[in-house]
Amino acid sequence: MTDDQLNSMPSSINGPGKQESSRTRTQKREQFKERLMQVNRILVPTDYSENADLALVLAVDIAKQFDAELLVVHAYHMPFTDEHMPPDMVKELLAAQKLRADDDMQRYAGKHRTDLKWTKVQFKAMMGFASETILDIAHTEKVDLIVVGTQGANSIEDRMFGTVTWNIIKKSDIPVIALPTHNEPVSIKNVMVPFEGTDQDYDIIGYLLGFTAKYNATLHAVHFMNDTNSYNKALVDKLQTGFRKEIDAERLQLHFLAEKNITEGIKKFASRNQVDMIGMVTHNHGLFSTIFHMSVTRNIALYSQIPLLAYNCDK
């Protein structure tokens, strides 16, 4: 097999495999259905920036696809106080800060009233550190997805909202979509996910297929190899056999690419295939602890102009 053949090889999942009983196939299909992305509540953090507005637009679109509810949250800082302030003064400062935060959120809700006309939405302004507050609310409100904007590592705002976004991705056991700066709404036609060839791939691939199905989009699952000589036919056959009964072949393509630099491999594939969103697992064990380290996910989240969907397999 030549390098060109290897680097461009999509693999259908309808290849031959061992015969399974009808009962086994049914059980596998039911197990796979449980993995499909289900979204009832979406949390959208906002710092009232332009990119946070675009994240809200994307969240509204996802909410419409899944008939989900939205929770829009702004985390604000505690006012400056010192140990010499009388308790009554501290109490007044806290009350004034909350009043301002609530007023800001009401204005924000009014600004987006038209966008949210057909969506059930709740607005909250909460005092606290942004990432911790957002994750606490996400668990308290039992949300299924967090959609957040990031300014990217090349801007001054990275010290604020970019860092908040990364902390949410790193600590969240709830899937997170991170939206980089965009000039127009995101259109979902092609989604990419790197995978390592283990049973855990069913989780992230199954989850993302629940997402791509809503948009009638294609999911490209990409396995990266260190060199062209590491092509493993047994691995390809295993993946084909494993997925062929559970997944609609027309919505999933498997790719096997030779690439030593995983981050660059992801970016190259995304560029060549007009990828609209990249799915990444964020666990830190097994093979991913070396080639799919969290730093790869961070680079994609902060340096790529393609939206990232981070899925934590550890939790």
DSSP output for 281-305: E---SGGGGTTT-HHHHHHHHHH-S
Same domain for 130 and 229: no
Q: How confident is the model at residue 287, as a pLDDT?
A: 42
With a CB cutoff of 8 Å and minimum separation 6, the contacts of 176 are 145, 146, 147, 148, 168, 169, 308, 309, 310
Q: How far apart (Å, rounded) are the C-alpha atoms in residues 55 and 276?
A: 14
Helix (H/G/I), strand (E/B), else coil: 238: helix
Counting beta carbons within 10 angstroms of the beta carbon of residue 67, is it exposed (0 to 12), middle (13 to 18) or buried (19 or more)? Answer: exposed
**Which CATH number goes with the domain that contains 191?**
3.40.50.620
Share of residues in the chain with pLDDT > 90 (%): 28
Same domain for 303 and 270: yes
Average pLDDT over residues 112-132: 88
Same domain for 235 and 137: no
Sign of CA dihedral 218, 39, 288, 268: positive
Q: Running DSSP on this structure, what letter comes out for residue 86?
A: -
Same domain for 175 and 45: yes
**pLDDT confidence of 206, banded at 50, 70, 90?**
confident
Q: What is the pLDDT of residues 64-88, one digit of tens each?
A: 999 999 999 998 877 666 667 777 7
Same domain for 196 and 174: no
Same domain for 193 and 137: no
Write out the two tokens for 8. Answer: 């461009």
Same domain for 108 and 19: no
Boundary-marking domain end, from 126, 156, 179: 179
What is the number of domains present in the chain?
2
Q: Are 263 and 194 in contact (CB under 8 A)?
A: no
Same domain for 238 and 136: no
Q: How confident is the model at residue 249, as a pLDDT?
A: 56
H helices of the chain, where? 3-7, 22-35, 50-66, 87-111, 130-140, 161-171, 201-215, 233-243, 262-272, 294-303
- Residue 183 C-alpha from the chain's centroid: 20
Same domain for 106 and 173: yes
User: Residue 28 above 70 pLDDT?
Assistant: no
Same domain for 171 and 56: yes
Residue numbers of the domain that contains 246: 3-35+187-311
Same domain for 264 and 141: no
Boundary-marking domain end, from 131, 161, 179: 179
Give this prediction's pTM.
Answer: 0.79
Helix (H/G/I), strand (E/B), else coil: 309: strand
Same domain for 23 and 82: no
